[in-house]
A and B are shown apart, each in its own frame.
Chain A
Amino acid sequence: MRRTAAVWAGKATGALSRISRLGGGTTLPGDVARAIDPDVLRKLSRDLKHGAIVVTGTNGKTTTARLISWLLEGAGHSVISNRAGANLIFGATAAALEHAGVNGRLQADWGVFEIDEASLERAVDEIQPRAAIVLNLFRDQLDRYGELETIAKRIEAALSRLPDESRTVLNADDPRVAEIGLNLERKPLWFGLDDPTVAASELPHAADARTCPRCGASLIFDAVYVGHDGVYRCPNGDFARPAPALTSTHIELNGFDSLAMGVSGVRIELPLGGLYNCYNALAAFAAGTSLALDPAYIADRLRSFRAAFGRQERLEADGRRLILVLSKNPAGFNETLRTAVDLAGGRYFLIGLNDRRADGTDVSWIWDVDFERLRGRAQVVVPGGNRARDLAVRLKYAGVEAAPPESDPARALGALIEATPRGETAHLLCTYTAMLDLRAELVRRGWAKPYWKT
């Protein structure tokens, strides 16, 4: 009965917060329901007909979870998921509440949840997922998460408590994720990229996980794909990338528009760009096959996928094409810059940096991002967000000529539109709340839909 009360209270909160325009009602209902019944998520998760899948890691959670939902839905399953990047335990609870019936019961086949790295232990305990996917571990919001090592240990503790019949799906290319997987009792399903034509030979600035966990020697990288993810080995033979069971080969990257790759003899095409999305697609493929979906079906279904809010979202704005890309830490930002500049040939940019809680209150990480890539290539760069002035200094020391910093989202957007000729494409690379601010302005101007409707 307590559960029914919790579900009702949560659902009412969600409706109210949407009506009162407080936002999408993506986490508050979870807070309310959990206050009434702390076990509400545990109980609702048991109602899922086939079970749940959780996705964690620094970058790519939202896209990968959405890809997996897309695969399951296409196969005729009903799926609940926390879609709007609300990835703390409250967000997962809110998602379950939204789909619970008036009897307090959840009627769905699957739950697919993206879970914040720091919340995984609780999520595993409450949700008891059938599969857990770990994408990567990069430095991110040190003021909030603490050191990478702490997060890695918590993830390992969570995975070691998974039910016996559950599967772990791990990125073999990430040394810190591999270390976690090698410590687990049961063998994970490893995935990784295998295409030297898209690899770099050197690690980027401020790569983490560059030493051998056993002897401390600096790892040798034979290929670098994204951040410190690649093909690595310890010079003393103490540690190496585990051999992946699933690999991506023959990778083709077409700006932010699309990618193609071969996985287990099947050609995958996805209307998302960037090498980092090869990892997301491969993780979704791995999850799909571990749930016995047919590889040919997966390939067919992925062709018609659509991106989530702020993840490579495309809009039309007064004759200009806008591409919005969430970019929130050095590893992710370097990849979106590489895709926007090198692959998509982008020349018009708005970069939004906020330092609110959800962005991380410490902005020093912008010095680990290779903004030098924009030098001589970008026609216009508008520094935006409430730390626009810090960005302006970063760009100055990168040798990039930028427009004056503009903290006001409306004026920053105005400056970008004015500087971008009609028919051209502009890229908006933003931290989380800077993206929300800009999107609100885009909605106000009628160029975008509110995010809870996407």
Chain B
Amino acid sequence: MARHKKTFTVGWLYPDLMNIYGDRGNILTLLKRAEWRGYDARLIELGRGTTRRMDEVDVFFFGGGQDREQALVYEDLLETKQPPLERAVASGAGVLAVCGGYQLLGHYYQTGDGDRFPGIGLIDVRTEAGKRRFIGDVVVDAALVDIKPATLVGFENHSGRTYLGPKAKPLGRVRMGFGNNGEDHTEGCLQGGILGTYLHGSLLPKNPHLADHLIRTALRRRGITDLAPLDDTAELAAHETILARLR
């Protein structure tokens, strides 16, 4: 029986070190929403030193960490994870990267003193340290066509200012909050199957339409184009709590 069941696999990059902002919410949301549609949902934890079964992953999640942990992760990312991650993305796997994970996938992070820490350059973004921390609720008008409602809500807490290069498209425009850099009104980025963002809160639980977008996009390579609808009343009510703060 089991071998006939459709599988959906989430790969969590550095679950022990990069999980600062309730990132488990994003993992649970991806897994449960696949499970509720009859998939055998699996989680592969990708800690330091392992690349095991990275080719089976449909959606990778890369969260934020504290500076100390981020430095430990960086070395491993460069040495062990980068090649298999690039291969997976090229074959159609999705990536959701939040905050620190988003920054590490870009070209570099430049500190206030001008020191540059190179990222792995999977997305065409660069980040520079800013003086003031951007903290608070965020509402974004998303640039994705297949999601309804067209808004994304979350919470940001970052001092990095991220700027997009020509290959990266913004995930959306901020209606409330600061977004990528507090200057150009963009938030997050889309490039290939990679979605980078500063939104946590957790992001996916109150943006179920974005969770489904990630699942649907990753499953497309297996010829699956449609996801059964779910009752999202509770999730969208939480979404609405933040939208209501706009008014």
Contact = CB atoms under 8 A, between A and B. Distances in A.
Interface of A: 139, 142-143, 146-149, 205-208, 210-211, 216, 218, 361-368, 387, 389-390, 392-394, 396-397, 405
Nearest to A364: B22
11 contacts: A146-B133, A147-B20, A149-B68, A205-B24, A206-B22, A210-B16, A364-B22, A364-B201, A367-B25, A393-B205, A396-B235
Interface in B43-76: 47-48, 66-69, 72
A312 B25 CA distance: 29
Contacts of B67: 147, 149
3 A-B pairs closest in CB distance: A367-B25, A364-B22, A367-B22
Contacts of A362: 21, 135, 155, 157, 200-201
B202 interface: yes
Interface of B: 16-17, 19-25, 28-29, 32, 47-48, 66-69, 72, 133, 135-137, 155, 157, 200-202, 205-206, 234-235, 237-238, 240-241
Contacts of A218: 16, 47-48
Contacts of A397: 25, 28-29, 32, 205
A364 B155 contact: yes
B157 A389 contact: no
Given A211-B17, A392-B238, A367 B68 contact: no
A396 B47 CA distance: 28
Contacts of B23: 206, 367
Given A149-B67, A218-B48, A390 B238 contact: yes
Most buried by B among A139, A147, A367, A368: A367
A140 to B, nearest CB: 12
Given A211-B17, A362-B155, A364-B200, A390 B206 contact: yes
Most buried by B among A207, A365, A366, A397: A397
Given A211-B72, A368-B19, A392-B237, 8 more contacts: A139-B20, A206-B22, A367-B202, A368-B24, A392-B234, A396-B234, A397-B25, A405-B237
Nearest to B135: A143
A142 B157 contact: yes
B17 to A, nearest CB: 7
B69 A365 contact: no
A207 B137 CA distance: 25
Contacts of A365: 21-22
Contacts of B205: 367, 390, 393-394, 397
A392 B68 CA distance: 33
Contacts of B25: 364, 366-367, 394, 397
Nearest to B239: A389
Contacts of B234: 389, 392-393, 396, 405
Contacts of A211: 17, 68-69, 72
A389 B17 CA distance: 29
A368 B24 CA distance: 7
A214 B32 CA distance: 39
Contacts of B32: 397
Nearest to A330: B22
Nearest to A208: B66
Contacts of B237: 389, 392, 405
Contacts of A387: 241
Nearest to A210: B16
B22 A366 contact: yes
Contacts of A389: 234, 237-238, 240-241
Contacts of A148: 66
A325 B201 CA distance: 24
Contacts of A361: 135-137, 155
B78 to A, nearest CB: 15
Contacts of B136: 143, 361
